A and B are shown apart, each in its own frame.
Chain A
Amino acid sequence: MPEIAFREALRMTLREELLADERVVLMGEDIGAYGGSYAVTKGFQQEFGPERVIDTPISEEVIVGCGIGAAMGGLRPMVELMTINFSLLAFDQIVNNAAKICYMSAGQFHVPLVIRMASGAGSQLSSQHSQSMEGWFAHIPGLKVVVPYTPYDARGLLKTAFRDPNPVIFIEHTALYSRKGEVPDGDYALPFGQADVLRKGDDVTLIGYSGSVYQATLAADLLAQDEISAEVLNLRTLRPLDIDAILTSVRKTNRAVVIEDDWKFGGFAGEIAAIIMEQAFDDLDAPVARVCGTDTPIPYAKELEQAALPQPQQIAGAAKGLF
């Protein structure tokens, strides 16, 4: 299989959707003339025209609301929010409209909308530009939340997002855009709610999603040096969450570490830990460990920022602490 970058996997899929369905339109800040702040839509406006690939004003609330209305009105829109940090300005539209219109109208209307956004820290962008709020979206009934790790995930899950009749929040960790991975030429789609066992192991399960899966794999390497065989689970979607895959792995390894860039306190890692302990209590040899971002905003200085994020050594250390 050919190796392509995460960004390429997204581009390939978006192009296919634009070609396949007239009703597909892409809207967002700087996705056209500028080419997308992470170059995901580079060249698309030239290829598909400003009617299909549309530069919007810097108005997050109406960009998202417009996507919702367009979806209700019969189009198949994809809205790009540049980064997850700016989604806070559109939170009302996402939580109170996108996630509730189908319910409040008793199914008379629904919202087939894909909202893409870049997430994560690590590029020294300081506090306002380095957040990871995947867990907040996952908390909301009515939404689906997709967090790909590999290029293969990105392509297969984005396909599914465009087939889903519900609002889908599609989150891309900025550290992944240039990472390569195998992606089949052919068309394929990955179902939501199916995690991927990235690496098989017997002693401990390392659970991550999006960028944190990478840290988990590095931690698994470290553990291997100490003869600890770690299984690495890539969740792929947070809502729906593949609870079976999590429990199956933990019932085998009897130990788990959940890794998340976001703040630990009140974060999504706590949900995963709680579910495991609720449903596999007697299978656990030790409480589930969480390795997350520090309880601070993200600072600019490189060393401070790195210290604020989960590191492979920490993850490996937490895993060893379970023995």
Chain B
Amino acid sequence: MKSAVIVFPASNCDRDAATALESLTGHKTEMVWHQDTDLPNVDLVVLPGGFSYGDYLRSGAMAGQSAIMRAVKAHAEKGGAVLGICNGFQVLTESHLLPGALMKNAGLKFVCRPVTLEVSETQSAFTRFYENGQKVVFPVAHGDGNYFADPETLDRLEGEGRIAFRYAEGDNPNGSVRNIAGILNATRNVLGLMPHPERVVDPLLGGTDGIPMFKSLIEALS
């Protein structure tokens, strides 16, 4: 599987994502600058965590307008895989590749801690190596992770099996509606999630629950 990580100004999990990908795929990951207009020929594009444009105005808003996002959209429309983690998820909603919006945490504070998630959809290139209903622990680290969408959208997401990850009951760190932690687009090739799978690929760093996501992608896309 060939992959690229987009670097926006003040992305800061770009290296983490690349390191995780490289260690699991054995291939070099391309780093793509936000002002570039073309993507290299890759299977997976990752929009990494961070504070693109300082998260000023709204998290992900300005990055959503950057030149490279046109290419990312085109990649997604052709069926290419896109993974948005944390700030990357925010960029995906801001650029309408995913529905809804990520608002300020209900607790109004930045929150960094491991949370328990439930895998609620395994029918995707991102999640096929998990069990349905499996409990996994990923860390979150965000101030604006409170997922919101209108009830019709939520019903549709649920009906179409597009809610990939939910916060386990009682462990919702940000007030997300219906405990939503991560969602898929209609064609299931774009996943956005607030928790950080790339931070749980090394037992020394608090777990390995993120590995199946990358293994799923490698199998699906290679």
* A and B: interacting chains: no
